[in-house]
Amino acid sequence: MKNLKGKTAIITGSGRKGGIGEAIAVLLAKRGCHVVISDIGTATGKNFSKSHIGTTSEMKSIVKAIKEAKGSAIAIPCDVRKAKSVKEMVDKTVKKFGSLDIMVNNAGVGYIMEPFEEFKEASWDAVLDVNLKGAFLCSQAAAVQMIKQGKGGSIINIASQAAKSGFPYAAAYTASKHGMIGLTRSNAVELGQHKIRVNAVCPNHITTGLGHWQNKFFSDKLGLEYDDYLQSIKDKNPLGRTGQVDDIAKAVAFLASNEASYVTGEAMNVSGGEEYH
């Protein structure tokens, strides 16, 4: 099925192997889309160390794999916290592929967790800057380009179950993801006149690099073995499993396509029935 043939998509935070962004990019490329693998690329300070980010060499290897599968992809490093970097990413994309039709705001920080009484201002800023300000800057730059093109577009925000429910130690993460839903709804209402659809996807737990860190953090907090903690998540899920990166990629491919031409302002749970409001 090549139902995205000729479209161009940017997927932020897609440069980390095994991540949700990589899976989205691979599937959109299979559906015929030109994809931009975008990520911060270079370690900067303790919150963005090499073990937490998509590096430029990982980005290149994801592009190589997509091309080997006959897809179309390029890598563009971008720090979503910086308006200049975001604008350059959009400009380079349009220069290379001629348009921007799909923006997937997937870049996120989910490994800064602290008890609320001790939550540091710097930690709050670090999370909100990537998860919410980053989505704002990328959505804005994408909308400006899509309005200029005059043929509509699709913006998809990768939120979380934490956009609908609260989680301990995760005040900043939970607030940022709830904020993403507000951004989604506001943009859907305002950008509909330009035929730009804006939706969010809300995954539950997926053991990516970030998910693995969260498993360790919460199993330690609860005094459980890592595998027992994972099993406890599966046990409370109506479908009896955790999410897979492909579950999210398929939802994004749907929302990006014409199959979803009357869907906007939606915050779609992809959580095996764990979250349903």
Ligand X SMILES: NC(=O)c1ccc[n+]([C@@H]2O[C@H](COP(=O)([O-])OP(=O)(O)OC[C@H]3O[C@@H](n4cnc5c(N)ncnc54)[C@H](O)[C@@H]3O)[C@@H](O)[C@H]2O)c1
Please report, as ranges, the residues that interact with ligand X according to CB under 6 A.
12-13, 15-16, 19-21, 39-40, 48, 53-54, 78-81, 106-110, 130, 158, 160, 203, 205-206, 208-211
Nearer to ligand X, 174 or 192 (CB): 174
Smallest separation (angstroms) from ligand X to the CB of 211: 4
Smallest separation (angstroms) from ligand X to the CB of 260: 20
Going by C-beta distance under 8 Å and a sequence separation of 6 or more, which residues neighbour residue 241?
Answer: 234, 272
Q: Are 35 and 50 in contact (CB under 8 A)?
A: no
Q: Are 120 and 27 in contact (CB under 8 A)?
A: no
Q: Are 247 and 161 in contact (CB under 8 A)?
A: no
Nearer to ligand X, 2 or 277 (CB): 277
Q: Which of 111, 169, 173, 229 is catalytic?
A: 173
Question: What element of type H or E holds 36?
Answer: strand 34-39
Nearer to ligand X, 4 or 137 (CB): 137
- Is 173 catalytic? The answer is yes
CA distances from 12 to 25, 59, 134, 162, 189 (A): 10, 11, 9, 19, 23
How many Å apart are CA 209 and CA 211, to the nearest integer?
A: 5
Q: For ligand X, which residue has the nearest CB?
A: 108
Nearer to ligand X, 32 or 48 (CB): 48
CA distances from 144 to 6, 147, 241 (A): 20, 5, 40
Provide the token pair at 268: 């779609």
Nearer to ligand X, 53 or 146 (CB): 53
Smallest separation (angstroms) from ligand X to the CB of 272: 12
Smallest separation (angstroms) from ligand X to the CB of 10: 11
Question: What element of type H or E holds 196?
Answer: strand 196-203
Instruction: Provide the annotated active-site residues.
Output: 173
